[in-house]
């Protein structure tokens, strides 16, 4: 079985978001870039499955659509144990363009299981996985919180409102994963970092797909009014607020 | 420019979020002087469907078939895309929830129609189609221009509101082919959570952080939630420690919530947690550290020990309700 993990290069989740003064672009000054947290959990689960299924999984490849700057993030994926990495050399303009580039690669390099995170923590598109599956004309399961392999078959858990469903879905498949899929992302070991240095990142020329959408203006929300403090021994005041203003009781 | 709205149901019933979605779709139809169509797949109840007319739904296409019992993204997308052609829809709207996100992305690729997910307002213009969405987990918004004739949207929950607007509902028989062979999702088992109120539906959320000290103290959260009819939630460290199940984790990498009222109890206010709750209408924070960053995000704050303040507050609410 071959697994492809799609990874997005995003600002660290603690980043204070800023835009250029004309509001046209994200201001990347001083930003630390990381593997999108859900993509990182997807990769973690892929590695766990490879280790626990005794040779069933022959290869884990990570793929990213991005410029050379993203290679630091790609190297991290290699240093925690991905076997191979692919970078499609294009600026990721929108989800459709990204999904189209990955679909083109997968058409000539088939995988049994393709993993994507449920969204990227920057543009929150929730889009690449579903689009990729549609472009490849294969099934997709979203909100996946667990993947097990039993006798060579995938057992997928999907979160639904108020519960979960255990599903049996044939491969090839796109699984769009969320919280729960793996517990903690892995920290690269010194040995892993050294090994990753010698691995080659395959750079692929893009097909240059026109985006379906453009971001034209970014804005930060209005700052919130000051918090009104209520002394802990005057909870009747809070009861009054809950009743009169918030109308919660 | 007709509007098509996908209406999910839960065991045949709709929720408040469905009525918000219909209100929103009807408002866009009015803005663009066009017609609004709804599509329902599977066994929704007739009286439930009729309720949708209260919020301005003029036309409904209801396709019943047992194959729709379990969500198969490929099959559902195929059916919805045929419906788009049938009603000549130019704008297709989903809820920004698990199902909506799963279908909207596939439909966007199938129709080559620009997708804007997590929209928070009515379109700012029709041609070019420009609309506002949330990004960076609520830390910012952006105007997005759609470059294609058709567009696909997912509406953030509680971003628009529910508006009554009674119309006559017209049931339409659409000539849609159900390609059942597309369905590859085989359901083995369903497990239900035991929560009394679902986090994603809740008007009020009572959430606890590490300040609770341990799972054995969670009863103070649950008792306050009970008296308010609220859902319970937690921060990431709490779910990572296994004190609470991960489906209760609210924050950047967990659930994003937008309730009317969010109680942050013993929560310091890490930027990732605040991002997940910033769309709440009111935030009340209770923390023993007066310098905790949660007070910058909150509307009302109490400096105190949650183990003392919460039981006292619960008692006072009970007395007030009497």
Predicted-complex ipTM score: 0.96
Q: Provide the percentage of residues in chain A whose pLDDT is more than 90.
A: 95
Residue B172's φ and ψ, nearest 5 degrees, are -115, 130
Q: What is the pLDDT of residue B196?
A: 81
The mean pLDDT of B149-167, rounded to a whole number, is 96
pLDDT score of B160 more than 90: yes
B253 CB neighbours in chain A (<8 A) are 13, 37-38, 121, 179
The mean pLDDT of B313-320, rounded to a whole number, is 97
B119 CB neighbours in chain A (<8 A) are none
Q: What is the pLDDT of residue B263?
A: 98
The mean pLDDT of B267-295, rounded to a whole number, is 96
pLDDT score of A107 more than 90: yes
* Separation in Å, CA of A4 to nearest CA in chain B: 19
Supply the angle between the helices B98-111 and B73-87 in degrees, to the nearest 10.
60
Q: Do B108 and A160 touch (CB under 8 A)?
A: no
Q: What is the pLDDT of residue A143?
A: 97
Size of chain B, expressed as the number of residues it contains: 322
Q: Do A248 and B260 touch (CB under 8 A)?
A: yes
Q: Which helix (H) or strand (E) holds A161?
A: none
Q: Are B95 and B54 in contact (CB under 8 A)?
A: no
CATH entry, B2-182, from 3.40.50.300, 3.90.190.20, 3.40.50.620, 3.30.300.20: 3.40.50.620
A14 CB neighbours in chain B (<8 A) are 270-272
* In chain B, residues 286-315 whose CB comes closer than 8 Å to chain A: 295-304, 308-309, 312-313
A243 CB neighbours in chain B (<8 A) are 320
The mean pLDDT of B208-229, rounded to a whole number, is 97
**Residue B24 has which token pair?**
């929103």
What DSSP state is assigned to residue B277? H
CA distances from A147 to A56, A157, A165, B259 (A): 15, 6, 12, 31
Q: Concatenate the DSSP letters of all residues of B10-63 into one string.
A: BTTB--HHHHHHHHHHHHHHHHTT--EEEEEES---HHHHHHGGGGT--EEEEE
Every domain of chain B with CATH number 3.40.50.1220 lies at 204-321
Q: Do B115 and A96 touch (CB under 8 A)?
A: yes
Q: Do A164 and B272 touch (CB under 8 A)?
A: no
pLDDT score of B187 more than 90: yes
Segment A128-138, tens digit of pLDDT: 999 999 999 99
The mean pLDDT of B50-65, rounded to a whole number, is 96
Q: Do B115 and A180 touch (CB under 8 A)?
A: no
Every domain of chain B with CATH number 3.40.50.620 lies at 2-182
Segment B58-76, tens digit of pLDDT: 999 999 999 999 999 999 9
Q: What is the pLDDT of residue A130?
A: 98
pLDDT score of B193 more than 90: no
Task: Measure CB to CB from residue A162 to each of B188, B198, B321 and give the nearest one.
Answer: B198
Q: What is the pLDDT of chain B when averaged over all its residues?
A: 96
pLDDT score of B13 more than 90: yes
Q: Do B145 and A213 touch (CB under 8 A)?
A: yes
Per-residue pLDDT band at A223 (split at 50, 70, 90): confident
pLDDT score of B313 more than 90: yes
pLDDT score of B314 more than 90: yes
pLDDT score of A51 more than 90: yes
Could you give all domains of chain A from N- to C-terminal order, each with its CATH number? 2-224 (3.40.50.620)
Domain B204-321 matching CATH 3.90.400.10: the answer reads: no
* Core vs surface per residue A180-196: b (16+ CB within 10 A) or e: bbbeebbebeeebeeeb
Per-residue pLDDT band at B2 (split at 50, 70, 90): very high
The mean pLDDT of B202-230, rounded to a whole number, is 97
Segment A153-168, tens digit of pLDDT: 999 999 998 899 999 9
């Amino acid at each position: 079985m071959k697994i492809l993990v799609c990874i997005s290069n995003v600002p660290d989740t603690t980043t204070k978001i800023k835009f250029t003064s004309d509001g046209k672009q994200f201001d990347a000054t001083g930003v630390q870039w990381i593997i999108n947290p859900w993509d990182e959990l997807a990769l973690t689960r892929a590695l766990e499955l490879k280790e626990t299924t005794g040779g069933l999984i022959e290869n884990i490849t990570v793929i990213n659509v991005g410029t050379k700057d993203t290679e630091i993030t790609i190297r991290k994926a290699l240093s925690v144990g991905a076997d191979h990495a692919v970078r499609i050399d294009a600026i990721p303009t929108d989800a459709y363009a990204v999904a189209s580039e990955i679909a083109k690669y997968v058409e000539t390099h088939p995988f049994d299981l393709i993993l994507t995170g449920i969204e990227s923590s920057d543009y929150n598109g929730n889009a690449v996985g579903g689009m990729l599956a549609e472009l490849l004309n294969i099934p997709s399961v979203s909100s996946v919180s667990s993947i097990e392999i039993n006798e060579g078959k995938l057992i997928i858990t999907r979160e639904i409102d108020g519960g979960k469903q255990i599903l049996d879905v044939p491969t090839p498949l796109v699984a769009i994963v969320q919280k729960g899929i793996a517990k903690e992302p892995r920290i690269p070991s010194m040995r892993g970092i050294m090994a990753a240095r010698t691995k080659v990142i395959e750079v692929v020329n893009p097909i240059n797909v026109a985006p379906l959408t453009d971001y034209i203006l970014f804005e930060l929300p209005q700052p919130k009014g000051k918090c009104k403090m209520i002394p802990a021994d005057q909870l009747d005041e809070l009861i009054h607020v809950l009743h009169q203003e918030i109308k919660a009781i | 420019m007709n509007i098509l709205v996908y209406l999910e149901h839960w065991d045949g019933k709709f929720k408040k979020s469905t009525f918000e979605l219909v209100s929103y779709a009807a408002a866009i139809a009015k803005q663009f002087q066009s017609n609004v169509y709804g599509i329902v797949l599977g066994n929704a109840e007739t009286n439930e469907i009729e309720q949708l007319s209260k919020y301005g739904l003029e036309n409904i296409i209801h396709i019943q078939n047992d194959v729709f019992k379990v969500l198969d993204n490929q099959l559902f997308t195929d059916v919805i895309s045929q419906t788009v052609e049938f009603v000549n829809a130019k704008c297709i709207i989903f809820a920004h929830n698990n199902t909506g996100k799963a279908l909207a992305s596939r439909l966007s690729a199938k129709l080559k129609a620009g997708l804007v997910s997590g929209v928070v307002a009515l379109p700012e213009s029709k041609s070019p189609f420009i609309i506002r969405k949330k990004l960076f987990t609520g830390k910012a918004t952006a105007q997005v221009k759609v470059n294609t004739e058709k567009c696909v949207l997912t509406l953030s929950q509680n971003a628009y509101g529910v508006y009554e607007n009674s119309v006559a509902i017209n049931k339409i028989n659409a000539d849609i082919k159900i390609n059942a062979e597309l369905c590859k999702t085989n359901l083995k088992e369903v497990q239900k959570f035991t929560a009394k109120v679902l986090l994603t539906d809740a008007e009020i959320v009572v959430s606890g952080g590490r300040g609770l000290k341990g799972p054995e103290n969670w009863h103070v959260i649950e008792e306050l939630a009970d008296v308010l009819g609220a859902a319970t939630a937690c921060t990431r460290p709490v779910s990572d420690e296994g004190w609470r199940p991960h489906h209760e984790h609210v924050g950047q990498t967990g659930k994003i919530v937008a309730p009317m009222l969010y109680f942050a109890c013993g929560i310091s206010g890490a930027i990732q947690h605040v991002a997940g709750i910033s769309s709440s209408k009111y935030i009340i924070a209770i923390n023993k550290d007066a310098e905790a960053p949660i007070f910058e995000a909150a509307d009302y704050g109490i400096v105190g020990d949650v183990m003392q303040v919460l039981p006292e507050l619960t008692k006072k609410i009970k007395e007030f309700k009497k």
